Amino acid sequence: MSATELADRIDALLPQTQCRQCGFDGCRPYAQAITGGEADINRCPPGDDAGIQALAALLGRPAKPLDTSRGQPGPLKVAVIDERHCIGCTLCIQACPVDAIVGANKRMHTVLPDWCTGCDLCVAPCPVDCIAMVPVAPPRAWTRQDADTARRRHRARAERLEDERLQREARLAARAPAPAAAACAQAAAPAAEARKRAAIENALARARERRQRVRP
């Protein structure tokens, strides 16, 4: 089995909350780190003991207790925005790994509860502390279907951000002068400066001449 195939199988067992409690930038990077021997299998609080056991069985390793320094497992939660205090800064939108928060700049934001993975990443960036994590009502477990859906939304967000980056670069390139034009402008700059100095010197010389002619 190749490293990519193994990372795929590990990733398929992770909860896809993209919470980063494992110390990596999402579930896929954590799966790649496990594949490369850079991380242990017990660093995922949302996966809890069941996730550790599944990874251990896949990799033929003994299961071990959850590393609680990474966080504590608990009931499924979702983010809730106190819309009375939201200032529309968009920082929570930028932090959400699955585009579960909607809103516009300087406009009230809201969370799509069916999309929220409970990752908690939107709470810290909020400058007015108007986001709270609350247990899902009625309580339920995070399912494999939830994980698969969250993975797709996370990938879709990554593709959208990459498209936006490429579009920004294209706009900047369109506004920038062409290399040949820029080179010509750079080459012409010393000559233009020399002509400017010459014109100033000529004007000063003519002014001196006029002053000399009017003297008695």
pLDDT for 194 = 77
pLDDT digits (tens, 9 = 90+) for 37-94: 999 999 999 999 999 999 999 999 999 999 999 999 999 999 999 989 999 999 999 9
Supply the CATH classification number for the domain 75-176: 3.30.70.20
pLDDT digits (tens, 9 = 90+) for 144-196: 999 999 999 999 999 999 999 999 999 998 887 766 655 665 666 677 777 86
pLDDT for 175 = 87
Task: Give the domain 3-70 fold.
Answer: 3-methyladenine DNA Glycosylase II; Chain A, domain 3 (1.10.15)
Residue-range domain boundaries for the chain: 3-70, 75-176, 178-216
Exposure class string for 98-120: b at 16+ Cβ within 10 A, else e: bebbebeeeeebebeeebbbbbb
> Which residues share a beta bridge with 67?
none
pLDDT digits (tens, 9 = 90+) for 82-115: 989 999 999 999 999 999 999 988 889 999 999 9
Same fold, 3-70 and 75-176: no
- CA dihedral sign, ordered 195, 201, 205, 211: positive
